[in-house]
Structure 1
């Protein structure tokens, strides 16, 4: 019944990258709190029975899609130590949608993106330049991002078919 709603809620939890209340989930999904609750319970049960690295958990702040604790050590080995998961998700959003306005990014990732953008600029992974109307900034990844993550070696991203 709510396969599509549960999938939509999964996408919302992934994109927001932070715990969300049932009310917030329902608002983003465009449904009632009761329908959001039912679909969320379905999603929690689905992840509980899946052989997946991810899980949906309830925290004091709300529901969150996160890496299972058994994979925390792997995450620490793979993610640059200076980047947290939230900043990494924000960086991924900028890389996939860039150039993107900071306003659009905050709509997509939440207000925590402001701090993450500042951190990513300081680390040299993104560049920020004021829009022509002066109201917001354009954000895009830098050459350091491409070098660090070796994006030029991923043929599906740059259109090349060579290895």
Structure 2
């Protein structure tokens, strides 16, 4: 290949990496290869994967507070590393949730599938309003089973918080976040 052709390809790849980075930053949610390919103008899955890997390594090499993570379903997300979240959370313009609904959501995520009555028994009667708000936001869903409502988190919840969509893996991730252990012996 001529130097001119190689230089042109390198330039296109540098531009594609920047577009991938911009898409991950702006979206604030996991993106699949199809979406990233569309944004970057790349059709080759192999090239796209190679460039995403380069971008991930770039963030890792400079020891940034930001990381790019590949989720188990093949999507990618740009997120703040866990160890920095608590220290800068207060600086967010407007938090997604206030403390009460966030605690209720945490309980639901960790104990799911969980009955509404169990959530209310643990979190108090104010949990009814929290559940309604969380459902309106698309973070949880309620499903009637007989006279009881069973609550689970949604795919949007997993995407928003950069967690797995698969329940066993999600619970392991939550244990790690809450207890700082990969395979905590504490049961949900």
TM value normalised by structure 1 = 0.47
Q: Which has the larger radius of gyration?
A: 2
